[in-house]
């Protein structure tokens, strides 16, 4: 894409009303725009990052047998009353509204109830199980405060998956598969060294639930990390008994702030009992379906990556989620030869399947370099009157520059 | 995909509470599930169709220079008050709610206001124009009645595009480009013979606005079509003067029911004047930006296709938007040789990039054929003990069957 066509522009100053690093950088670089506290527009650059993250997640959810669907945001009051999650006393994040006829309805903050109710249409026999469904949904949560940019939104994109299993052992097997799949997601998104499977309070059915916590100063959570064993304990369950249960030693643990980028819950048979979701077992008896629920905050994950990967100059995207692979910086473009050369390189890279943002704007070299650092695309490639038959290549996460021929650059990008 | 894994199941009977053909067929075939009147879940098959339609639209919007973004559903009351579109007297489809602090907010039914407000951040000079942005957004509209399936929803997916131009002539040029782009979208979606650019009432700035109307019995609109000239007039502006202005002859016109699948509006400078969206002209003077808005109902388009392409047995998808290209029907799969052959064909087709739904279920041949007709995938390919080294190929829109070798089938599919 030619940057002269991109309608967004970078800003030198951080917005005064944003305290979080992720919102400051993403707004300055033109990835997001603040509509209101906790609700952000995704601009062309931002939407490209979201698409990359979604593609990574979708491929891993498909790999464990997930089937993608899209539930509705609109929610029926009657359904959530059955499970006692409608009243504001029990769930304090509902946005509620009403139909013309006066019937109340809500905007989905989670989807266990409607998906489980829907499954009554499709699950009848043990032969219909297990079933794994997932979606990318815009969730609405009426948060009291919303000051951490896209880490905690009133409107945000979430990947939520739901597993329906015949029994606890079938459930447990899938639960473990999802832990592995989630760790692959975080690894592919560049967070391998930062995300820990974390034991947290368990709820009704299990001693522990599991969270995926990314170490970051910006986090609202506190965890104790065993870096060699690659596991962690949430502060809320940190005590001697937990250490013993999890076979961890106090002296191996480091206390850090962290962001919860994913979580998984075992609902057991509770929801199915409440909603009447049953199946006929092989022996002819009727049983309730075992439900698990698994979430990754897509926009939160994007914000977490920014919180972790940045420096004084801007964002430093991991290659896998960057909006473009190459930021082609054209200097001296008033020189027709240089302009032709820059356009040729843009064409060659694009035709080779490389995603290129080509800075063809009529602004100073200093402004182009500053914007490039702020936007944070992995490879900066400079074409100018000085680069002759080569290009100057620098990775955003390095200070080294090297002169390469275009075919050498292509080889490096294909690595 | 193996059909035995697909969690949805087809239903023999139409749901009693659905009057529309599109909802009846889509629910029976397992494309959608009704959450409430006007709000439908998109199941795996349905989401595949939506993805195909979105990809067609996105490629045509990109081709005319559109930049994709994603606005928020949450809307600030204060902003819509500026343009006098907040009150229920003026706009009767708002879903409204409120933040914890008591501030009212709304759920977006359209996005001219927030996008134009946002553009004040990015548009300052004539050099920043024109700008074309589009999004795929879930819109919320509090419709009094909602009985036509996914043709008119309370929650639905829309592609909306907005053009910001320096003046009327620049606007007009793009407006015409979009008409062409929209017609390419409808052609690619299989509706070439059904969709007409239709002159309708113009609003404040132009004599006519333009709609894209698809001829269908299910339509709520009435239009007069000139089939040879490929244009139409909406009933609301059908009179002698209009006929004269558009150079049409009463005797060439046919009165038909139709579904509005797209529309385009010229807002002139009105919104920019209301919101203060200005730019500096080349001569140094300040001017208001010219706004156009262009919509295609993505889910409505899917419903329209079903209304138009069906028969007594089910849906007949155009190839371009079908959830799969091939419905591979395996019969006699208890015979190990046939099972192996069916699996081999499934693998060969899949590896060749053909999207295949493989009916590997343990149900009768009759049930498989009935489901295949209901689901409506373009090619039905039967493998059985009888088909020997060939497969029996039938298109959903034809009664002819022919016996082909797999490589012959592949050649036919690549056409």
Residues whose CB falls within 8 Å of the CB of residue A287, separated by 6 or more in sequence, listed in order: A166, A167, A278, A279, A280, A281
Residues A251 and A356 in one domain: no
Coil, strand or helix at B38: coil
B287 pLDDT exceeds 80?
A: yes
Strands A195-201 and A208-215, by their bridges, are: antiparallel
Chain A nearest-CA distance from B279, in A, is 14
Residue B382: which CATH number? Answer: 3.40.50.800
Residues B188 and B39 in one domain: yes
Mean pLDDT of the region B93-109: 96
**Structural domain tally of chain A?**
2
Residues whose CB falls within 8 Å of the CB of residue B388, separated by 6 or more in sequence, listed in order: none
Q: CA-CA distances (angstroms) from residue B12 to A250, A319, B104, B112, B410?
A: 62, 49, 46, 44, 32
The model's pTM is 0.97
Q: Does residue B253 contact residue B229 with C-beta atoms inside 8 Å?
A: no
Q: Could you give the CA distance from residue A376 to residue A396 in angstroms, rounded to a whole number?
A: 6
Q: Could you give the CA distance from residue A160 to residue A158 in angstroms, rounded to a whole number?
A: 6
The nearest alpha carbon in chain A to B100 belongs to A144
Facing residue for B74 by CB, picked from A39, A44, A100: A39
The nearest alpha carbon in chain B to A154 belongs to B74
Facing residue for A142 by CB, picked from B9, B99, B144: B99
Residues from chain B contacting residue A96 (CB–CB below 8 Å): 97
Contact A69 B43 (CB under 8 A): yes
Q: Does residue A399 contact residue A381 with C-beta atoms inside 8 Å?
A: no
Write down the ipTM of this complex.
0.96
> For chains A and B, what is the number of CB pairs under 8 angstroms?
126
Facing residue for A114 by CB, picked from B35, B65, B114: B35
Residues from chain B contacting residue A99 (CB–CB below 8 Å): 142, 154
Of A252, A280, A311, at which residue does a domain stop? A311
Stretch 146-165 of chain B: residues touching chain A, C-beta under 8 Å = 154-155
Residues from chain B contacting residue A114 (CB–CB below 8 Å): 35, 41
Predicted pLDDT of residue A204: 62
Chain B nearest-CA distance from A54, in A, is 14
Predicted pLDDT of residue A13: 87
Contact B47 A35 (CB under 8 A): no
Task: Give tens-digit pLDDT for B268-284.
Answer: 999 999 999 999 999 99
Contact B76 A36 (CB under 8 A): yes
Kindly state whether residue A375 falls inside one of the protein's structural domains: yes
Predicted pLDDT of residue A208: 83
Asked if the C-beta of A93 comes within 8 angstroms of chain B's C-beta atoms, the answer is: no
pLDDT digit string (tens) for chain A, length 415 residues? 999 999 999 998 888 899 999 999 999 999 999 999 999 999 999 999 999 999 999 999 999 999 999 999 999 999 999 999 999 999 999 999 999 989 999 999 999 999 999 999 999 999 999 999 999 999 999 999 888 999 999 999 999 999 999 999 999 999 999 999 999 999 999 999 999 999 998 766 677 889 999 999 999 999 999 999 999 999 999 999 999 999 999 999 999 999 999 999 999 999 999 999 999 999 999 999 999 999 999 999 999 999 999 999 999 999 999 999 999 999 999 999 999 999 999 999 999 999 999 999 999 999 999 999 999 999 999 999 999 899 999 999 999 999 999 999 999 998 7
In this structure, chain A runs to a length of 415
B57 pLDDT exceeds 70?
A: yes
Residues A283 and A331 in one domain: no
Kindly state whether residue B341 falls inside one of the protein's structural domains: yes
Stretch 281-320 of chain B: residues touching chain A, C-beta under 8 Å = none
Predicted pLDDT of residue B59: 98
B145 pLDDT exceeds 90?
A: no
Q: Does residue A231 contact residue A249 with C-beta atoms inside 8 Å?
A: no
**pLDDT confidence tier of residue B13, bands split at 50, 70 and 90:** confident
Task: Give tens-digit pLDDT for A129-171.
Answer: 999 999 999 999 999 988 899 999 999 999 999 999 999 999 9
Which helix (H) or strand (E) is A407 found in, with range?
helix A406-414
Report the percent of chain B where pLDDT is more than 70. 99
Contact A72 B36 (CB under 8 A): yes
Q: Which residue carries 């980028």 as its tokens? A: A261
Kindly state whether residue B78 falls inside one of the protein's structural domains: no
**pLDDT confidence tier of residue B96, bands split at 50, 70 and 90:** very high
Residues whose CB falls within 8 Å of the CB of residue A62, separated by 6 or more in sequence, listed in order: A68
Residues B184 and B295 in one domain: yes
Residues A283 and A332 in one domain: no
Residues from chain A contacting residue B35 (CB–CB below 8 Å): 71-72, 74-76, 114, 118
Kindly state whether residue B382 falls inside one of the protein's structural domains: yes
Residues A268 and A335 in one domain: no
Kindly state whether residue A87 falls inside one of the protein's structural domains: no
Name which of A286, A200, A287 is nearest A246 in CA terms.
A200
Residues B115 and B258 in one domain: yes
Name which of A62, A23, A366 is nearest A184 in CA terms.
A62
Residues whose CB falls within 8 Å of the CB of residue B11, separated by 6 or more in sequence, listed in order: B27, B28, B30
Predicted pLDDT of residue A205: 65
Of B285, B311, B337, at which residue does a domain stop? B311
Predicted pLDDT of residue B147: 86
Stretch 118-147 of chain A: residues touching chain B, C-beta under 8 Å = 118-119, 121-123, 128, 131, 133, 138, 140, 142-144
Kindly state whether residue B10 falls inside one of the protein's structural domains: no
Residues A159 and A298 in one domain: yes
Q: Is it true that the peptide bond before A130 is cis, omega within 30 degrees of 0?
A: yes
Task: Give tens-digit pLDDT for A201-247.
Answer: 876 667 788 999 999 999 999 999 999 999 999 999 999 999 999 99
B206 pLDDT exceeds 90?
A: no
Residues B340 and B303 in one domain: no
Facing residue for B155 by CB, picked from A73, A128, A140: A73
Of A311, A339, A371, at which residue does a domain stop? A311
Q: What token pair was written down for B310?
A: 């069906």
Facing residue for A8 by CB, picked from B75, B99, B122: B122
Residues B340 and B286 in one domain: no
In this structure, chain B runs to a length of 415
φ, ψ dihedrals at B172, nearest 5°: -60, -40
Predicted pLDDT of residue B203: 65
Kindly state whether residue B128 falls inside one of the protein's structural domains: yes
Residue B173: which CATH number? Answer: 3.30.930.10
* Chain centroid to CA A292: 20
Predicted pLDDT of residue A9: 93
Q: Does residue B382 contact residue B392 with C-beta atoms inside 8 Å?
A: yes
**pLDDT confidence tier of residue B205, bands split at 50, 70 and 90:** low
Residues B379 and B250 in one domain: no
Task: Give tens-digit pLDDT for B361-382.
Answer: 999 999 999 999 999 999 999 9
Predicted pLDDT of residue B15: 87
Structural domain boundaries, residue A115: 21-73+108-311
Rounded to a whole number, what is the largest CA-CA distance in chain A?
A: 81
Residues from chain A contacting residue B131 (CB–CB below 8 Å): 7
The nearest alpha carbon in chain A to B79 belongs to A35
Contact B73 A155 (CB under 8 A): yes
Predicted pLDDT of residue B4: 96
Residues B244 and B339 in one domain: no
Kindly state whether residue B387 falls inside one of the protein's structural domains: yes
Contact B41 A5 (CB under 8 A): no
């Amino acid at each position: 894409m030619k940057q002269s066509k991109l309608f967004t522009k970078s800003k030198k100053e951080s917005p005064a009303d944003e305290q979080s690093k992720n919102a400051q950088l993403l707004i300055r670089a033109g990835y997001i725009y603040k509509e209101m506290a906790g609700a952000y527009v995704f601009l062309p650059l931002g939407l490209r990052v979201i698409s990359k993250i979604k593609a990574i997640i979708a491929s891993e959810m498909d790999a464990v047998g997930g089937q993608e669907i899209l539930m509705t945001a609109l929610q029926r009051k009657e359904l959530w009353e059955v499970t006692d999650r409608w009243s504001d006393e029990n769930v304090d994040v509902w946005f509620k509204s009403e139909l013309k006829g006066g019937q109340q309805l809500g905007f989905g903050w989670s989807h266990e109830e409607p998906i489980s109710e829907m499954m009554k249409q499709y699950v009848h026999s043990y032969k219909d199980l297990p079933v794994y469904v997932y979606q990318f949904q815009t969730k609405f949560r009426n948060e009291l405060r919303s000051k951490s940019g896209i880490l905690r939104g009133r409107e945000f994109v979430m990947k939520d998956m739901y597993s329906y299993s015949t029994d606890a052992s079938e459930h447990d097997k899938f639960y473990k598969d999802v832990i592995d799949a989630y760790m692959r997601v975080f690894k592919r998104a560049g967070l391998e060294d930062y995300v820990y499977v974390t034991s947290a309070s368990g709820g009704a059915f299990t001693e522990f639930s599991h969270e995926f916590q990314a170490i970051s100063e910006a986090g609202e959570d506190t965890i104790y990390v065993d870096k060699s064993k690659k596991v962690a304990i949430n502060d809320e369950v940190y005590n001697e008994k937990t250490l013993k249960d999890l076979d961890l030693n106090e002296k191996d643990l480091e206390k850090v702030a962290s962001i919860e980028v994913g979580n998984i819950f075992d609902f057991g048979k509770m929801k199915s009992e409440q909603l009447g979701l049953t199946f006929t077992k092989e022996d002819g008896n009727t049983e309730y379906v075992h439900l698990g629920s698994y979430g990754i905050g897509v926009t939160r994950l994007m914000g977490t990556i920014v919180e972790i990967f940045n420096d004084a100059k801007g964002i430093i995207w991991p290659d896998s989620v960057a909006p473009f692979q190459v930021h082609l910086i054209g200097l001296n473009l008033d020189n027709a030869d240089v302009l032709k050369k820059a356009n040729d390189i843009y064409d060659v890279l694009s035709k080779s399947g490389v995603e290129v943002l080509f800075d063809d704007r009529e602004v100073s070299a200093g402004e182009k370099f500053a914007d490039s650092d702020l936007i944070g695309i992995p490879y900066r490639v400079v074409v100018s009157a000085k680069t002759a038959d080569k290009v100057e290549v620098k990775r955003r996460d390095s200070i080294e520059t090297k002169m390469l021929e275009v075919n050498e650059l292509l080889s490096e990008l294909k690595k």
